[in-house]
Amino acid sequence: MAIADNKQRYMPLPDDRLPGRGEELAYPEAVLLVNPVEPQFKGEVDDKYEYSIENKDNGVHGWICFDPPVGFWQICPSNEFRTGGPTKQDLTSHVNPTTLAVCDFPH
């Protein structure tokens, strides 16, 4: 997963969030990885909020894979639809791979 030049990482697998591999924490999106497929993730907490970024920095984010060689990107051509200003944190990516395009509409 890549959010910025300084925010890139290999991601846990969806199976790592299942009972036996992960323990649900205070809210369903947060899981303690107790027996992940890839041992490097053991003891980490995975939740979608870790991959937030300020609106002003969120021009493109996405996923890349080496085997098979494929990737996809969420490109934001403008900030017109965003609310909360340039320093508001919004979600970008989550396990599976999932990319999030958060649109906040005033009520």
Residue 105 — pLDDT band, cuts 50, 70, 90?
very low
Return the higher-pLDDT residue of 67 and 37: 37
Q: Comparing C-alpha atoms, which of 93, 87, 90 is closest to residue 104? A: 90
**Per-residue pLDDT, 19:** 93
Please determine, for residue 107, whether its predicted confidence score (pLDDT) is greater than 50: no
Residue 76 — pLDDT band, cuts 50, 70, 90?
confident
AA letter at 83: T
Q: Comparing C-alpha atoms, which of 2, 3, 43 is closest to residue 25? A: 43
Mean pLDDT of the chain: 83
Please determine, for residue 102, whether its predicted confidence score (pLDDT) is greater than 70: no
Assess contact for 86 and 56: CB atoms under 8 A. Answer: yes
AA letter at 59: G
For the stretch 3-46, pLDDT in tens is 778 878 888 888 998 999 999 999 888 999 999 999 999 999 98
Q: Encoding tokens for residue 71?
A: 């990737």
